[in-house]
Structure 1
Amino acid sequence: MSTNQLSQAPSVDRKEHQAAGPLVKVVRLHFADPMRLLGVPLTIFASTTAVCVVVMLLIRAFVPGDSAEFSEGFRYNQAPLWCFAGYFVSVGAFAYARTMPFAMGMGATRRQYWAGTAIALVVESVYIGASMTIFLALEKVTGHWFSGTHMFDVYVMGNGSFRDIFLMGFGISMFTLFAGTMFASVFVRWNQKGVLLVVFGIVAVALLLAWVLLSLGVDVVSFFSVDIVARIAVGMIVLGLLSAAGSWLVLRRAPVGR
């Protein structure tokens, strides 16, 4: 190995280390408060399950009928689909406002901050998918929470499929978290007017897309008639990735600390 190669190798290693350092720091910054991203979702799942169990017990105690029919009716429960979505939109929306100035103060560039935030949110999405899968396993083991209550073993989450509930948990998290960050980046750069314009733009594009599909005779219903839960989950993941890309396009020129 020549003298020049020996002299260049350490500098390359230092550059790679310096580039990776801020990414790790940004990820750690988002998880600095474990309760916000790790504890609160579990609390939401547990408390929503407890409410559903209480509702089921009240129905069985005061409504005449077959308990098996009541339990089967709970398969239409949509609580796991909505119980944490709003919270995660707010988490994504506040992610930039709470951490961006600190990350810049630690020497991270906008690109490094965006990439570190994206990694943190993907990790969080995997965590939610895994958590919902574990809750589903517990629900099955306990005979639906010892009361016939269906919370995670429901139609909208895959009807007891571990694969589908993981994909749904991951997909909902990806979509809501990255949608929140996208709107947060728009607000940081253009304030409320920018958010309103983006909302109107998204609605207009969605309506235009629907018109094009209907005009071309595309049968969207038949596409989702097979493996519907998994395909909806994949669709939400795609929307989450598009939101992540949109947040970067806006964030790269956004002011810090607005």
Structure 2
Amino acid sequence: MTTAPLTARSRSEEVRAASRIAPVVRLHFARRLNLLLVPLFVIGVTLVVSIVIQLAIQRAGVDVGTVAYAAGARQNPGVAWALSGYLVATGVASVASTFPLAAALGTTRRDFALGTAATHALTAVFVTAVFVGMLGLELLTGHWFGGFYVFDVNVLGAGDPLVLAVVAFLGSWLALSIGGAFGAAWLRFGPRGPLAISVTAVAVIAVVVLVTVPSFAAVAEAFRPWWLAVAAVGLTGLSIAGTFGFLRRASVR
């Protein structure tokens, strides 16, 4: 007898929650230059630089038709690293510079954290769509008409569009979320906040490396790529939770 009312109530609460988060998303996307256009510029510049470097290698006498060349060219992680650095910085700015305005407009800290997480997810979807489209162009044009490997690289799945989509989405969302956590830590503790996160992260990585070194060979043999996906999801969730935790007591500057 109470199932229907409870279901209707839960749906109503979800609608109200979405209505509170939507203004935060719109506020973030008012800065479309940072979230949408600059990533395209970074991708474009990295594409040009990668082609120039590989063209120089080819002009040095390397045969682009060999398997060895393709294997070496697929080691190029340029577009992934270039964009990830920018996305982390964007994540920082999306919290540090937008939270004071959102708070002044009456947005709660919880709604801001959730709206920011949703914005980062939508931005990651956009980046993923661009990456998949660029991979398609690369494959259709025979690697940009000259054997240039930019998106058909190992770190992005070596030409597998499904793997590329997963890597691009999880990687982009993780980078933005980590940046958001750093921005929230700066609002809460000043420069000591990001420093403490960095020191803690380095300490944890060092402990993990020291613990796993004796059995590194066994771990490497048992390693599966989906471990990275699980780790990315976990770190993204931790970063979002950390953002909200830091913002709960952050001052509005």
| TM-score normalised to structure 1 length | 0.84
Counterpart amino acid of 1:58?
A: A
For residue 57 of structure 2, what is the aligned residue in structure 1? 59
- Aligned equivalent of 1:26, options 8, 24, 27: 24
Q: Does 1:44 align with 2:24?
A: no
Contact residue 171 and residue 232 of structure 2 kept, 8 A: yes
| Structure number with bigger Rg | 1
Matches of 2:179 and 2:104, distance apart in 1: 23
**CA gap 1:106/1:19 in 2 versus in 1, 3 angstroms:** farther
Q: For this pair of structures, how many residues does the alignment match?
A: 244
1:98 is displaced (CA, Å) by 1.7
**CA gap 1:158/1:51 in 2 versus in 1, 3 angstroms:** same
**CA gap 1:59/1:212 in 2 versus in 1, 3 angstroms:** closer
**CA gap 1:42/1:82 in 2 versus in 1, 3 angstroms:** same
For residue 122 of structure 1, what is the aligned residue in structure 2? 121
For residue 177 of structure 1, what is the aligned residue in structure 2? 176
Matches of 2:231 and 2:15, distance apart in 1: 36
Unaligned runs of 5+ residues in structure 2 are none
Matches of 2:40 and 2:201, distance apart in 1: 32
SS across alignment from 1:150: coil
SS across alignment from 2:251: coil
Counterpart amino acid of 2:238?
A: L
Give me the identity figure in percent.
Answer: 35
For residue 245 of structure 2, what is the aligned residue in structure 1? 249
Give the alignment of 1:114-153 within 5 angstroms.
114-153=113-152
- Aligned equivalent of 2:232, options 232, 236, 249: 236
**CA gap 1:75/1:255 in 2 versus in 1, 3 angstroms:** same
Contact residue 22 and residue 107 of structure 1 kept, 8 A: no
Unaligned runs of 5+ residues in structure 1 are none
Query: 1:31-87 deviations in whole A, cap 9, x for unaligned?
Result: 1122211111122112211222222333333x1232224454311111122011111
Give the alignment of 1:91-240 within 5 angstroms.
91-213=90-212, 219-224=218-223, 226=224, 228=225, 230-240=226-236
| TM-score normalised to structure 2 length | 0.86
